[in-house]
Chains A and B, each alone.
Chain A
């Protein structure tokens, strides 16, 4: 049995070497907030945060994640309290069809944890691997800037 630490919870899993993290999250653990689309590292919908960095779960082998801290979209909210990035996406109407949003939010979280006051250019650069077919980018970028300010305030209080 292999232990994986996902959303601060330890899972004991009978992992096969060739299983991707994406498959394990969705098919074995039912964590379907992480979306599957291109499955070859082009779209960013399968983004999760591992050890503080946004990574693509479709090209991550689950067995390679032993001993690492993994956060998926399901691990962001604190009970009923949404994470500031999630709340900002709602407040700014940054969600259209919503399919790319879990990946966008995970990339945004990783970016803001490292740099709470990103410029527009830094946001665009940090999210350049996450595609939105509805082209909601402007609202998404506004939401991320707003979330950064809120996270900074929360940290300070």
Chain B
């Protein structure tokens, strides 16, 4: 037996999921299950107590799909990573989601893992949080009282991705004037764990970068913005020396947190890489 016994609940509507989540104690939500089931196995091996109840969100149609709502696109929480990669609706500034999705783990995991799981599992090394922060995404939740709460992704991760609500979807504004770059470095270990996810969105106004967001996921903290680098980039023109000089304007604490020399070096390689990409895009 790989898992310890638990009571498994499979609600088929958001309303019944909310009711069950409000009523049960010692309960965990299951999205794609790629993090949850492996962590339950590890807890069993280590003799750690596991939850009594698991609520699967897999049978709730309201939580699946990608919708074009005119000025924004909505991605529901139970949408698979592979569905994001395949979606024809994610173009322009939203193309960054497809790029990030393509780089996540393996095809088998991409087929099972969901956006909701990636954003709310509270592992610090997942890929999508940096993308959401850089895209100014708004995360929608529903509480056990049935009320909706909307939280900017940046605030959600600033609060260590804590919530006692059910995450239902994200909404991201369409904006063809915004360009993006995404970079992911991974550890060379048996499991595919990103060492770094970097996402930059910016707008070129009169040949200069503006409204730049540099979102960083360094693997040891939740996604955060490098405001020092943003400040440096805003007002600069794309150019050959930009990537090199930018390294002198990093918020080093973000990149050097619990880092080995290799990690610190690789993070700077990542920064140079994406800034060169950004320059290329605007050449």
Contacts and interface: CB of A to CB of B under 8 A. Distances in A.
B43 interface: no
A56 B3 contact: no
A54 B58 CA distance: 17
Contact of A64 (B58, B105, B111): B58
A47 B108 contact: yes
Interface stretch (A38-46, A74-82, A139-147): A38-46
Nearest to B5: A18
Q: Which 6 A-B pairs have the closest CB atoms?
A: A17-B8, A129-B106, A129-B108, A18-B3, A59-B37, A53-B111
Interface of B: 1-8, 10, 30, 33-34, 37-38, 41, 54, 56, 58-59, 82, 105-109, 111-112, 190-191
A133 interface: no
Interface residues of A, number: 32
B48 to A, nearest CB: 15
Contacts of B106: 44, 128-129
Contacts of A130: 108
B36 to A, nearest CB: 9
B7 A39 contact: no
Contacts of A126: 107
A41 B108 contact: yes
A16 B2 CA distance: 12
Given A16-B5, A55-B111, A40 B38 contact: yes
A88 B82 CA distance: 27
13 contacts: A18-B5, A18-B6, A20-B37, A22-B2, A54-B108, A60-B112, A61-B30, A64-B56, A107-B108, A125-B107, A129-B108, A129-B109, A130-B108
